[in-house]
Amino acid sequence: MMTKITKISNQAELELFLPQEELCQWLHLNLDKFTDAPEAISKSIDYAFSPEPGKGGFLLLAHEDNDLAGALVMNATGMAGYVPENLLVYIAVNPKFRGQGIGTQIIQKAFETAQGAVALHVEYDNPAARLYKRMGFISKYAEMRWQKEM
């Protein structure tokens, strides 16, 4: 199967494919139980498209014919030297295309496109963790969070 993967660097490029709100809904649905609210997903896309120093990133859209088969959001951290330069924030594959290597192709394209190291957060029970390990990700740290009550 030959999947077409397109790098998206700004809002105008994204709009050639679909509106940002539609992509956020698509990611929200296709991330299954590991999803975030569409508003949070939209913030990560805004960050990827930001021209501000220390921000930026890109999106990757994978298409099979006219179907959106997969999508990835990568944010630049702006912290080279002590934190990986990139954070893979979201990656999802449409359920009807899962198990066909599309996730692998998207991640490989992300590695080729990103400047520097890539980190991601994955829940222990996420089946995609096996794919990430096969792609060369290692579990270096356990993430711990403290949430300020508002």
pLDDT tens, 4-19? 999 999 999 999 999 9
List the structure tokens of 84.
Answer: 């990986």
Instruction: Give the C-alpha separation, 94 to 66, whole Å.
Output: 13
Q: Are 141 and 121 in contact (CB under 8 A)?
A: no
Listed range (33-37, 69-73, 142-146) with the worst mean pLDDT: 142-146
Instruction: Give the C-alpha separation, 109 to 59, whole Å.
Output: 11
Q: Given the structure tokens 């969070």, which residue do they identify? A: 145
> Hey, which CATH number is domain 4-134, 3.30.720.110, 3.40.630.30, 1.10.1740.10, 3.20.20.80?
3.40.630.30
- Looking at residue 1, its pLDDT comes to 56
Instruction: Give the C-alpha separation, 26 to 94, whole Å.
Output: 9
